[in-house]
Chains A and B, each alone.
Chain A
Amino acid sequence: MNYLIGLLSIVFFILAISVIVKSMKINKNLSEAEDPNSAADSSNNINAYGMLAFWFFGTVAGVWSFNASAPDFLPEAASAHGVTTDKMFWISMSVVTLAFFITNTLLLFFAYRYRYSKNRKATFYPVNHKLELIWTVIPAVVMAILVFSGWRTWRDITSQAPSDAVVIEITGHQFGWYVRYAGNDDNQLGNYNYKLIDETNNIGIDFTDKNSFDDFTATELHLPKGKPVLLKIHAQDVLHSVYLPFHRVKMDAVPGMPTKFWFTPTISTDEMRAKLGKKDFNFKLNCTEVCGRGHFGMAITVFVDEPADYKKWCAEQKPFLATNPAYLAKVPENLKAKAAKYIPAEPISVDSTATEAVSVN
């Protein structure tokens, strides 16, 4: 690193010195050196060569720094749509980099090539409609192609989630995320209401809704590989934004306005670890909407499991009601019986027959 800083300082230093030296020369023969008819002074050529030098060193620095940074870019997308958008990103990036390179090259090269000379006169060239038409149409066409493919992808990403998608609720708050699963019985999240939030029921699960009874909460996000997952996103206090960088997923969490995002994870945590050769690699969920002091640290770990492992993990989780039987009091009379099933009166956890019985309705 230090060499980089050194390099940079040197560049600035040399620039400064060279121009100062030059300026001393100018000051000496101020009047003779200058062409009385023009504002061009004897530094004109230096500045022109500067343009070339900038082009050259800029290109070298650009290519070098890209290659040096590439290993730290996000690894291959771990979701189905992410693979598509990554590909589109790099294609678009190539197109715009090419445009960037050509136009900057022309700009800097023309600046150098057409530097002031006493013996030349600028060409009076005010307009050329054909040329203008060409360079209006070309970007328009290129843009149209990029937009069109972008639009198709966007439409697919934001389409309705498949009906068999695993539903998970993420709630952002200062400064953390609550995760709630639809439960092992009904794949349906129960209602919630911000007025019901208390110390224990920190999501505000509404126990007058029977779908809530089997819901369980977690401090990590577990996702099944290869299955569509629908994230239902809330915020309690201020804006937050769910960002799963490795899955190319981002969606704001807005108080009072539920949002959603569905996607299909395609690479399990284990597979990703193997691919990257990092035994302790983990997917993450971060916050990308500024939310206060702890914004930068608002992250939880994401595990993508093989479907069987995911099932197993889910089965091990206890419904919120089971761990907090006191909330049975909030269940309306007519549903008490149903809810009571989840209360470990006899300490047997939810058995498989119960599962089937409930999932019928």
Chain B
Amino acid sequence: MSTAISHAEEVHTHAHDHEHEHHEPNFIQKYIFSEDHKTIAKQYLIMGILWAFVGGSLSIMFRLQLGFPDMQLEWLRPILGSWIDESGKIDKEFYLALVTMHGTIMVFFVLTAGLSGTFSNFLIPLQIGARDMASGFINMLSFWFFFLSSAIMFSSLFIETGPASGGWVIYPPLSALPQAMPGSGLGMTLWLTSMAFFIVSSLMGGINYICTIINLRTRGMTFTKMPLTIWSFFFTAILGLLSFPVLLSAALLLIFDRSFGTSFYLSEIYIQGQALPNVGGSAILYQHLFWFLGHPEVYIVLLPALGMTSEIIATNARKPIFGYRAMIGSLMGITVLAFIVWAHHMFVTGMNPFLGSVFMFLTLIIAVPSAVKAFNYITTLWKGNLIFTPAMLFSIGLVSLFISGGVTGIILGNSALDINLHDTYFVVAHFHLVMGSASFFGLMAGVYHWFPKMFGRMMNSTLGYIHFWATFVGVYAVFFPMHYTGIAGFPRRYYSFTALGNDGQNAFTDLNQFITVAAILTFSSQAIFFFNFVYSIFKGKKATENPWNSNTLEWTTPVNPGHGNWPGEIPAVYRWPYDYSKPGAESDFIPQHIPFSATPESNLPEENEEIAKEKAIESLLAAQNESYNR
């Protein structure tokens, strides 16, 4: 024990050395320009939650138009001004702006920044046993670039010509030509600027996550002892690091085309009585570049959710995750394959049909690791002893949504079937279940699960249960029926369905009303969460160090971990994170920092051999401390 204390002192003095003349961090250093990964994580989380409410409200507005096309929306005029047209309905161009901003906000600002930004930051150092990120400064910059990007994107909602309106994929020429629609003017410029900063932010974050995981693992934390959360953050960061730069170049070329008269994407265009001089560009090139990010992006959004779910399900099933190595393997498989399936979004763009065949084969291969993951989750529940915390409920919900949305990927990945389904509501149903809802559930699960470590208090679980059931029933009610309109050939991004002919607009009026009502109820029930979240930060029941009896390292920190995370030495790691309900063990969980020599009653034969290595692990302490003192 005395060594631990002396070490704590050592760290303390050292911290002072390090900061030279600096005093205790003042308010600004502590809460605003903080370099502490935990504070940065909370900043991301709060931004993510705020964005989610913005993105959600936009969707409610356009759902009103779809569900109740005759409804008078005069009452929205105080907020929307002239975006409500003379007849008291949403303006047709503004409808597209709503759809575009909804998609952009949800995909990038909520589910990329809000999810990865929060949990990669919060959990990587805590779960691998590090005092902070590899570079606290870059980490701080990463958040503030995100903030800048957010501010720009948010401001674009209020300009007179409206925000970007060409869909979240902003395909040129529509997005390149201001004369094509008002949203392609200043709104698009702001969109591109904002996304450029967003990409910078994500790259800084990603580099940090990767470096931290590779370099700062505590002694004994080999790669094969890392929790699946960390594995998933690791692969997510790699995906982002390799694909976001491609989006940046796509955006840059678009900026050139818009502002400097180049023709990367433009060719033979006649618009508004004018033939433009651009020739030789390719609109399809943009789509290739976009989806080279776009497809990995869907996994950037989903993998962290899957990783956290693995952790939460194992903890609350009181059972090891089934097939730990297979889980890592499928994460790895998904990561690699995610880079070579992008053109399945482009089967009917006129690209060479042979390419279509190749991408169909590759796409359907990616379904295999996805399926393996689903089976492994289900088997983890089998013969468990399940505790339904709100986090556990959201994790089970995630698995269900992941399956329900994933199976239709097999249909869409078949290029012959995609001919009819592409750009219909079938696709909308597919990705809202598998990516939108599943990742959102992961985000919620993560918040409920790690809230005690973030804020030192517990969230109210009863409100959590209500929130879960309302959301679970809600998202199925909203997105499942969209398969039907998709099969009926209803295209997406349609203001109304009058031009389908043959009474098409009357075919699904009931269903569309139902979806809209369900969406409003589901959205409203998020208020329960918001209340619970804010209330619990200040008034929640005080948490204990390890409220869920979990094995990973973050639960060995104090209730309110300070700067540096562990007041004393960072614990060493001797075992994998999933020793739950081990036969012979007294307690139903054995945390990662408990050596095998302390648990002879429950060791498996091969684990007894590990005892010999404990000395070696211990002896790394000095080197580990040294690395922080450099």
Contact = CB atoms under 8 A, between A and B. Distances in A.
Contacts of A147: 360-361, 364, 413-414
B465 A194 contact: no
B96 A295 contact: yes
Contacts of A23: 462-463
Interface in A205-264: 233, 236-239, 241, 243, 245, 248-252, 254-257, 259-260
A99 B499 CA distance: 36
B61 interface: no
Interface stretch (A136-144, A306-314, A320-328, A329-337): A136-144
Categorize the interface residue count of chain B: 35 or more
A40 B375 CA distance: 25
A35 B399 CA distance: 28
B270 A194 contact: yes
A107 B417 contact: no
Contacts of A239: 171, 173-174, 283
A260 B487 CA distance: 24
A195 interface: yes
Interface string B147-185: 000000000000000000011000101100100110000
B268 to A, nearest CB: 4
A355 interface: no
A298 B349 contact: no
Interface string A48-92: 101100100010001001100100111000000010110011001
Contacts of B367: 139, 143
B461 interface: yes
Contacts of A46: 465
A284 B500 contact: yes
Contacts of B588: 121-122
Interface stretch (A1-9, A182-190, A340-348): A1-9
B198 interface: no
B104 interface: no
A123 B267 CA distance: 64
A75 to B, nearest CB: 9
A278 to B, nearest CB: 7
A1 B301 CA distance: 36
B32 interface: no
Nearest to A287: B491
B574 interface: no
A292 B484 contact: no
B423 interface: yes
Contact of B269 (A11, A16, A157, A237): A237
B537 interface: no
Contact of A104 (B361, B404, B462): B404
B387 interface: yes
Nearest to B460: A23
Given A111-B396, A150-B414, A290-B493, A12 B521 contact: yes
B245 interface: no
B234 to A, nearest CB: 21
A256 B462 contact: no
A248 B325 CA distance: 43
A291 interface: yes
A358 interface: no
Given A116-B386, A144-B364, A257-B284, 14 more contacts: A8-B477, A58-B476, A74-B420, A114-B385, A147-B413, A154-B356, A155-B357, A174-B271, A194-B269, A236-B271, A237-B173, A245-B500, A257-B283, A296-B92
Q: Give 7 nearest A-B pairs by CB, closest first.
A: A256-B267, A259-B350, A158-B353, A23-B462, A245-B489, A150-B414, A69-B484
30 contacts: A5-B514, A8-B521, A11-B473, A20-B466, A39-B387, A65-B480, A69-B484, A73-B484, A74-B487, A88-B414, A96-B410, A122-B319, A122-B581, A122-B588, A125-B320, A132-B323, A135-B372, A143-B365, A151-B415, A158-B356, A195-B275, A250-B422, A251-B348, A252-B350, A255-B269, A280-B502, A286-B500, A289-B423, A296-B496, A299-B501
